Amino acid sequence: MADALVAPGDWGGEERFPLEVAFCVGCSLVQLLEELPPQRLFVDNYLYFSSFSDDVQSHSSAHAEELVTRRGLDGGDLVVEIASNDGYLLRHFASRGVRVLGIDPAPDQAAAAEAAGIPTLREFFGPEVAARLRHGGERAEVVIAKNVMAHVPDLNGFVAAMATLLADDGEIHVENPYVVQLIANREFDTIYHEHLCYFSCTAVAALARRNGLWLNDVVEFPRLHGGTLRWVLGPHHRPSEAVGRFLEAEREGGVTAFDHYAGFADEVARTSAELRSVLTSLRSEGARIAGYGAAAKGSTLLNAVGIDTDLVSFVVDRNRHKHGLCMPGTHQPIRDPSALLEERPDYVLLLAWNFKEEIMLQQQPYLDGGGRFIVPVPSPQVVS
């Protein structure tokens, strides 16, 4: 599992699972064929904290500002975030006087949120939780689900539960990476077991209709997580111009047909071979290579391409909870980013390429000393 970081030498317990992607010709949903238990993926030893990215923080603040201003939210209104992690988003509503509730089963992240003053239900969200909250008199003006709707086995139950919790004239804001960008930019490393679904606007519109909702707006964030869309759902049909534009572009671009995806596996093989060749060639010239970002996508890339510690010797990450552990499957030790200045590797493979600008700015001293980054997708590129 991509996020199952492993203690040094504890290789015996590592498990591998099939990772196959399918396309539904009925509703255009791209999806995995293998489900792993959510408890193992998102609770047991879950180390992902959303607050380690400045980009994500500024994105979150802008999102809160837009909603609070446009809807005139105040202390009488409830904003609920599903998969609220460490309160990275809800703190931006709470600081503006809005009542908030987080829902996240990950114990350490929920504890961090509560320490920041964000009340958090430590549960997986679904129809039972939504019905209990509604029965208790809670209705949310806004329900937010960022990087979680792609992660849930019962997708229809999840969407119906958001509708249950929503106030009559409320808004549901869902954010996930956009499958069109994934294919166009060969972002194959974002395909892993946490991500059961890969959404197009066509698939989200059909999903909404199956659960008594309408797709009313689409907002694009091309640089976030390799290309993210925000889908705004609601109980009343009030589509913005963007909805028609995106749906038409997907029809014109073939996104609603299997052929659009049929050749992706060959693209992945090509990109993987290119990257392996670049790394092997650099190492044969005596170059030393490290990695940046003990990310789930980083685990996927290292294992899919076969990048072991001979090619990339260690990985750095700002998330201190990951230090001292190793990348699953390929076993690079995970260290603090200061190791880049201590060890001065010639190159750093940017496993968290979705934060390229933020990380390169932060690592300017390493670059000033002659260091270079290798951005792996859409095809390997050395940047300095």
The contact set with ligand DWN (CB under 6 A) reads 48, 52-53, 147, 194, 225, 293-297, 317-319, 352, 354-355, 358-359, 362
Residues 79, 164 contacting (CB under 8 angstroms) = no
- Residue at token pair 């996240």: 104
Cβ atoms within 10 Å of 360's Cβ, excluding its own:
18
Distance from C-alpha of 221 to C-alpha of 213, rounded to nearest angstrom: 23
Take residue 325 and report the two structure tokens written for it.
């552990």
Instruction: Please say which residue, 211 or 319, places its beta carbon nearer to ligand DWN.
Output: 319
| Minimum separation from the CB atom of position 113 to ligand DWN (A) | 16
Between the CA of residue 107 and those of 48, 125, 187, 354, what are the distances in Å?
11, 14, 30, 26
Instruction: Please say which residue, 78 or 294, places its beta carbon nearer to ligand DWN.
Output: 294
Triad 292, 296, 298: Cα angle to 5°: 40
Burial class (CB in 10 A: 0-12, 13-18, 19+), 222: exposed
| Minimum separation from the CB atom of position 62 to ligand DWN (A) | 17
| Minimum separation from the CB atom of position 192 to ligand DWN (A) | 7
Cβ atoms within 10 Å of 344's Cβ, excluding its own:
13
Instruction: Please say which residue, 64 or 145, places its beta carbon nearer to ligand DWN.
Output: 145
Helical ranges in 95-178 per DSSP H: 107-115, 127-135, 155-165
Find, among 270, 267, 280, the residue nearest to 349 by Cα.
280
| Minimum separation from the CB atom of position 5 to ligand DWN (A) | 10
The percent of the chain in helix, strand and coil, each rounded to the nearest 5, is 40, 20, 40
Instruction: Please say which residue, 232 or 352, places its beta carbon nearer to ligand DWN.
Output: 352
Between the CA of residue 336 and those of 132, 160, 278, 349, 369, what are the distances in Å?
43, 42, 25, 15, 18
Distance from C-alpha of 64 to C-alpha of 69, rounded to nearest angstrom: 8
Instruction: Please say which residue, 176 or 202, places its beta carbon nearer to ligand DWN.
Output: 176
| Minimum separation from the CB atom of position 284 to ligand DWN (A) | 29
Instruction: Please say which residue, 42 or 216, places its beta carbon nearer to ligand DWN.
Output: 42
Instruction: Please say which residue, 102 or 293, places its beta carbon nearer to ligand DWN.
Output: 293
The DSSP bridge partners found for residue 143 are 80, 172
Find, among 22, 369, 354, 28, the residue nearest to 180 by Cα.
28
Distance from C-alpha of 217 to C-alpha of 214, rounded to nearest angstrom: 9
Instruction: Please say which residue, 194 or 217, places its beta carbon nearer to ligand DWN.
Output: 194
| Minimum separation from the CB atom of position 351 to ligand DWN (A) | 8
Instruction: Please say which residue, 5 or 73, places its beta carbon nearer to ligand DWN.
Output: 5
| Minimum separation from the CB atom of position 228 to ligand DWN (A) | 8
| Minimum separation from the CB atom of position 174 to ligand DWN (A) | 12
Instruction: Please say which residue, 108 or 138, places its beta carbon nearer to ligand DWN.
Output: 108
Residues 142, 72 contacting (CB under 8 angstroms) = no
| Minimum separation from the CB atom of position 207 to ligand DWN (A) | 18
Residues 314, 331 contacting (CB under 8 angstroms) = no
* Cα atoms in the Cβ-side hemisphere of radius 13 Å centred on 230: 17
| Minimum separation from the CB atom of position 146 to ligand DWN (A) | 8
